[in-house]
């Protein structure tokens, strides 16, 4: 069930109609049941896997909190790690592992292929649930004593299949609330949901036409056309994923919950660190807390510091997909961040201020991330090499219409304008006439320009 579907509209309307009749724990039970219905609409049997992950970490977390010795704590943590990462490896990386073993050994991999379907959102809810046992191992918080509350934390449908990735302190305290949902929360939720839906169906799904055309025929288009197609994909994936996150925030707000912001205008940042800290914020925080810092983070020498960044980013690439082009995407970004970070912490100079300094930095980030997007979107490492070769040789080939360049420039201008003027309290600042006008315009744009039917890109991760 997708947020941009009529089935979801009926589902959410029915949930809103039922909620006033439920209070306290019964309300939590209704939301949990609704979350399982939401997930089961895609594949009912995989509800069992979701329940297994929830029960495993609830039990392991309680045992970790009561463990008397470090050895006992490590044993329960290892059990949680195997129980969480084992299914993730089997479903998502099993065939990738077998293909590479077969390549090295010279065997035919086809007889060994696993005939499996990757459970929707497994990377997201696994990381979210696993964070609880990792925190219990570190004695950071008190254990959750209610299985219902913990299950709702893992399964809450607005963020279940594509984030934001929550931690227990961000969600569980909200379950103590007894006050009804307020009108400002509903209005904020409506605004955020419409904004996210607009980014998804009007911007992302229409740009996908150009991006798909170029990336499906990597050797057919000119270097300029490949730049246009890659730029379209860069905008598409941002609007697609940030659109989902914004819709999740809006749905949660209408239900009386708060979800963290997952994007903060990364496309307008002027250095690599700013860009990465404002893109998929919750995943970045998860990796930083549970991988990067345990490796030593930045509290080590330059060589180890650079290794920690590159290794972390290669894991991030593998998290996104079981293919070598994703690993190369992570390696590319890790090297850029490592070089930039080492230089910045060792530099004894700085560029003098001059007009357009930040703009020049932004242009470098754009160029860097257009190349990065090729590794991310290409269907294979070979296709990525072909596309990069056509850009650097400025090869002739099929072109894209000038109207596409105009659309991309217009989108960039609107995005920059929204960076300066858009705030989360926009509805309140506009007042009722402006609020009605903006809502009406957004709904009309979605109805007239929306290109429905495409799943969210991050569903595959």
Closest C-alpha among 445, 424, 452 to residue 190: 424
**Integer angstrom CA distances of residue 446 from 122, 185, 413:** 30, 22, 20
Judge whether 257 and 174 are in contact, CB under 8 Å. Answer: yes
Let me know the angle formed at the C-alpha of 408 by 402 and 413, rounded to the nearest 5 degrees: 125
Alpha helices in 288-356 (DSSP H): 302-320, 324-346
Judge whether 50 and 61 are in contact, CB under 8 Å. Answer: no
Judge whether 243 and 197 are in contact, CB under 8 Å. Answer: yes
Is the peptide bond between 357 and the residue preceding it cis, with omega within 30 degrees of 0?
A: no
Kindly give the interhelix angle for 357-377 and 324-346, rounded to the nearest 10 degrees. 160
Q: Which of 28, 159, 320, 415 is catalytic?
A: 320
- Residue 293: CB atoms within 10 Å: 14
Q: CB within 8 A of 89, min separation 6: which ones?
A: 97
Alpha helices in 281-323 (DSSP H): 281-287, 302-320
How buried is 315 (Cβ within 10 angstroms: 0-12 exposed, 13-18 middle, 19+ buried)? Answer: middle
Is 320 labeled as catalytic in the residue annotation?
yes
Alpha carbon 29 to its chain's center: 27
Both tokens assigned to 41: 């609409």
CA separation for the pair 149, 438 (Å, rounded): 37
Q: Which residues are catalytic?
A: 320
């Amino acid at each position: 069930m997708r947020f941009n579907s009529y089935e979801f509209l009926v589902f959410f309307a029915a949930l809103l109609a039922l909620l006033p009749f439920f209070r306290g724990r019964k309300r939590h039970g209704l939301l949990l049941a609704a979350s399982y219905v939401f997930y089961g609409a895609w594949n009912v049997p995989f509800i069992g896997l979701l329940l297994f992950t929830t029960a495993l970490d609830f039990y392991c977390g309680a045992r970790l909190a009561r463990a008397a010795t470090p050895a006992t704590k490590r044993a329960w943590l290892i059990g949680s790690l195997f129980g969480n990462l084992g299914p993730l490896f089997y479903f998502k990386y099993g065939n990738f592992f077998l293909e590479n073993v077969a390549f090295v050994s010279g065997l035919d991999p086809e007889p060994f292929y696993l005939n499996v379907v990757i459970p929707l959102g497994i990377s997201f809810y696994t990381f979210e649930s696993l964070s609880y046992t990792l925190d219990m191992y570190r004695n950071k918080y008190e254990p959750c004593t209610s299985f219902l509350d913990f299950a709702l934390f893992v399964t809450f449908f607005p963020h279940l299949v594509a984030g934001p990735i929550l931690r227990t302190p961000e969600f569980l305290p909200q379950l103590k609330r007894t006050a009804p949902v307020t009108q400002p929360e509903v209005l904020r939720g409506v605004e955020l949901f419409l904004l996210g839906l607009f980014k998804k169906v009007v911007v992302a799904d229409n740009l996908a036409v150009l991006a798909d055309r170029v990336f499906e025929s990597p050797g057919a288009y000119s270097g300029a056309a490949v730049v246009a197609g890659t730029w379209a994909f860069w905008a598409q994936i941002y609007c697609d994923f940030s659109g989902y996150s914004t819709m999740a925030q809006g749905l949660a707000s209408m239900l009386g919950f708060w979800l963290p912001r997952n994007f903060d205008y990364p496309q307008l940042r002027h250095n690599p660190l700013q860009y990465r800290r404002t893109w998929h914020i919750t995943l970045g925080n998860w990796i930083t807390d549970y991988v990067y810092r345990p490796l030593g983070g930045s509290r080590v020498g330059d060589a180890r510091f650079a290794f920690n960044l590159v290794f972390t980013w290669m894991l991030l690439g593998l998290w996104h997909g079981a293919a070598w082009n994703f690993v190369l995407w992570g390696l590319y970004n890790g090297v850029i961040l490592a070089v930039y970070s080492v230089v910045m912490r060792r530099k004894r100079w700085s560029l003098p201020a001059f007009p357009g300094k930040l703009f020049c930095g932004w242009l470098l980030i754009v160029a860097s991330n257009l190349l990065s997007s090729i590794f991310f979107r290409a269907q294979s490492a070979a296709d990525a090499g072909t596309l990069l070769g056509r850009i650097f040789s400025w090869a002739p080939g099929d072109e894209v219409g000038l109207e596409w360049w105009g659309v991309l420039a217009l989108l960039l201008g609107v995005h920059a304008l929204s960076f300066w003027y858009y705030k989360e309290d926009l509805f309140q600042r506009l007042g009722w006439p402006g609020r009605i006008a903006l809502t009406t315009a957004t709904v009309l744009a979605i109805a007239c320009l929306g290109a429905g039917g495409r799943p969210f890109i991050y569903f595959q991760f």
